[in-house]
Structure 1
Amino acid sequence: MRTPVESGDPRIEPAGFRRSLGEFATGVTVITTSLGGISYGMTSNSFASVSLEPPLVLWSIRRESTSYAAFESCSHFAVHILADNQIDLSQRFARSGADKFSGLDCQAGLGEAPLLDHVAARFECSRSQAYDGGDHLILLGEVQRYCRYDRPPLLFAKGRYAVAADHPETRVFDIAGIVPGQDGGEERVLSNLMIRAYSTVAARLETGRKSAGLGLTLMQARLLRAAATSPDKTLEDLLPELLLDFNASQNLLSSMIALGLVAVDGEARMRLTGAGEESLKAIIAHARANEELLFQGIPEDDLATVRRVLAGIVSSQTGGPARATA
């Protein structure tokens, strides 16, 4: 594509600048420290490795953060690379508040920095240097201890959470879709197949939406559906369904309000506007048309079974009735 989707001066158009930065996929970390007997923690995706000799890492903290004073003065901090099943932990530490560690079983690490469990990797660091970074402070840490676990990492890209999958050009499958040399391997794990199937369908619908001129991104369409399915819910209520952190969700909601598709009342409850309902109807009609093409050749009995199974999974988690029928 020769023509950019958006461009400009980041000082004049900061929202577009942030979306452009979001094209760079990162991992998700929670950084913790302790100061004066009080534990502090925050979610960050600015983490990066710097040097092997000496072992140095860096990350940055916004100067307006409520935890800024603690990290500016701390002697040690711990960096936790989250595993792909820890979205709830990411969202917990992305919010402001004094009870972030409530209910968590944390050990005390170097400098009394709290250590979180079940992560993909962890680095305990002594604070080495701090550098001015505009509206952020860049913190350099020397790694004193590290540990790594056999867990896939949580990723963040384009304003939403993601999981890692091998690029199709780097993997070779047999006709059944099983990795050669394995007795089924990860391709027999149902959750992995569901993730890959969802990615295939979502990519097809995203391409179709653009070519059909519907004008909404995948995440905007997801917010429309979520607001329609659960009217009068707040943005925070819908975070588990959106799979976004709170800040990214706020940006998404702001874009929908600006388009006149979603309205928010004085108690932060969301509802679709008339234009939003019409847009959602167009999206659903487009999705059905694309599904007919995407699933052609698959027996209707098989599709009915998939609908029942997926509806059953959803109802078991939400407590609501399953809507799919045979």
Structure 2
Amino acid sequence: MQPLPADALRAAMGHFATGVTVVTAGPGRDPHGSTVNAITSVSLAPPLLLICLREDSLTLGALLTAGHFGVNVLREHQTSIAKRFARRGASWDGVTYSQGIVGGVPVIDGALATLECAVHDVADGGDHRIIVGQVLAVEHPEEHVSPLLFYRGTFTKLGA
């Protein structure tokens, strides 16, 4: 059997709409961030989630060094932030953020929700690493706020 071409998997998975996050790591003057839609809840007790980052990701390196990371769920109007952190070594110029309570992870101001995590486990995921994080702090609004979505290779929003 022939190996499945990467573009075939990408096209098929494009039909699965996902939320958009920026995973952050590296407190202090050297923050890192990567746009990530490979994220899911794993367990409620203990509270665990998983993210996937490319093996050569600068954010992955910072995350593994620090042992902590943040997940910033983006609002529907934060497309520019998603696009910025989809590039390797993205600049933080003009992005306002604060230091979180878990290891000082960068928390993007105005994100729909933030989850601050400690690295719980790391597994091989081909050209990615699968990071399981124990969620230690969360912040989110009580009212409905529309998230930014990714579907078939483009950013979009919820329908009416």
In structure 2, C-alpha distance between the alignment counterparts of 1:165 and 1:73, rounded to whole Å = 40
Q: Tell me what 2:13 maps to.
A: 21
Q: 2:99 aligns with which of 87, 93, 108?
A: 108
Q: Tell me what 1:130 maps to.
A: 122
Q: By how many angstroms is 1:12 displaced?
A: 4.5
SS at 2:46 equivalent: coil
Q: 2:150 aligns with which of 147, 156, 166?
A: 156
Q: 1:44 aligns with which of 36, 43, 48?
A: 36
Q: By how many angstroms is 1:52 displaced?
A: 0.8
Q: Tell me what 1:87 maps to.
A: 79
In structure 1, C-alpha distance between the alignment counterparts of 2:27 and 2:48, rounded to whole Å = 22
In structure 1, C-alpha distance between the alignment counterparts of 2:111 and 2:77, rounded to whole Å = 9
Asked whether the 8 Å contact 2:25–2:59 carries over to 1, the reply is no
How large is the Cα RMSD of the aligned pairs?
Answer: 1.8
| Structure 1: runs of 5 or more not aligned | 1-7, 167-326
SS at 1:94 equivalent: coil
Write the mapping of 1:2-81 to structure 2, written as runs, cut at 5 A: 11-34=3-26, 37-81=29-73
| Structure 2: runs of 5 or more not aligned | none
Q: By how many angstroms is 1:64 displaced?
A: 2.3
Q: By how many angstroms is 1:68 displaced?
A: 3.0
Write the mapping of 1:261-300 to structure 2, written as runs, cut at 5 A: none
In structure 1, C-alpha distance between the alignment counterparts of 2:42 and 2:94, rounded to whole Å = 34
Q: By how many angstroms is 1:113 displaced?
A: 0.8
TM-score by length of 1: 0.46
Letter in 1 for 2:98: Q
In structure 1, C-alpha distance between the alignment counterparts of 2:28 and 2:146, rounded to whole Å = 34
In structure 2, C-alpha distance between the alignment counterparts of 1:148 and 1:12, rounded to whole Å = 39
Q: 1:89 to 1:161 in 2, by over 3 A?
A: same
Q: 1:36 to 1:105 in 2, by over 3 A?
A: closer
Letter in 2 for 1:108: Q
SS at 2:45 equivalent: coil
Asked whether the 8 Å contact 2:147–2:158 carries over to 1, the reply is yes
Letter in 2 for 1:137: R
Q: By how many angstroms is 1:133 displaced?
A: 1.1
In structure 2, C-alpha distance between the alignment counterparts of 1:12 and 1:116, rounded to whole Å = 37
Q: By how many angstroms is 1:72 displaced?
A: 2.6
Q: 1:85 to 1:133 in 2, by over 3 A?
A: same
SS at 2:82 equivalent: helix
- Report the count of equivalent residues: 157
In structure 2, C-alpha distance between the alignment counterparts of 1:49 and 1:64, rounded to whole Å = 24
Whose helix fraction is larger, Structure 1's or Structure 2's?
A: 1
Letter in 1 for 2:52: S
Whose strand fraction is larger, Structure 1's or Structure 2's?
A: 2
